[in-house]
Structure 1
């Protein structure tokens, strides 16, 4: 009766995870070898950190970040403008029934991790952490 709702809360299926990794690897290869006319993409090394396909595998959220720092939101916006082109290239690279529609999003997890590191490095926090060893 409520099994569909129960499955949605469990997270991505193995099929979604495999498809996401397949798409991620193919996109990394495509982005490494393609030249872009958009100045926001020209000399940027792009990290594809995660691909989350929808349950039907017809669309995918692609999380990206510029390597070496930069504006992840501007990068995602520029990639969204090239999404149709990238989807066409992707369709030639992967063996899936449908080539997913790509939706690029800025991955800010590196920034968040850096902020956590900075917080943990504060003298007051270090003092508290050193006190836990007793």
Structure 2
């Protein structure tokens, strides 16, 4: 009996259940590799790097890894160092994650922290506070 795949069966959050599960496994493995300091690079030493998200392509052959150094400093230097050590990190990832193919990896700076800060500043502006206070006075 053939399997029929439905087009609209993607899970909320941008991918199938398998993509999300593999992405989370890759995220944990990369975070562990970086926490152990396995990649010996002077630009990575002294940085604590957070891996908040990994997105997998539908065929699971490409992993986009979003990173943010603690404090948000030297982001471009850290991403460049991770790109330089991509081959080593991919090999370590292949040993830790049981997949048919080790995914190609690329690193991106996670912009969500900046976006959250921008929204927080926007919510603290006098105009927004005035509107919030006028809404609470009406009820």
Q: TM-score w.r.t. structure 2 length? A: 0.84
Unaligned runs of at least 5 residues, structure 1:
none
SS of residue in 1 equivalent to 2:34: helix
Instruction: Say whether residues 1:84 and 2:87 are aligned partners.
Output: yes
- Return the match for 1:52 from 43, 52, 55: 55
Instruction: Please give the alpha-carbon distance, in whole angstroms, between the structure 2 residues aligned to 1:132 and 1:72.
Output: 40
- 3-state SS in 2 of match to 1:24: helix
* Alpha-carbon distance in structure 2 between the residues aligned to 1:101 and 1:65: 20
Matching of residue 61 in structure 1 with residue 64 in structure 2? yes
Residues 33-67 of structure 1, C-alpha deviation per residue, up to 9 Å, x if partnerless?
02444332111110111111111111110011111
CA distance in 2, matches of 1:99, 1:36: 18
Q: 1:56 to 1:114 in 2, by over 3 A?
A: same
Aligned length: 132
Give 1:78 deviation, angstroms. Answer: 1.8
Structure showing greater radius of gyration is 2
Q: Does 1:38 align with 2:41?
A: yes
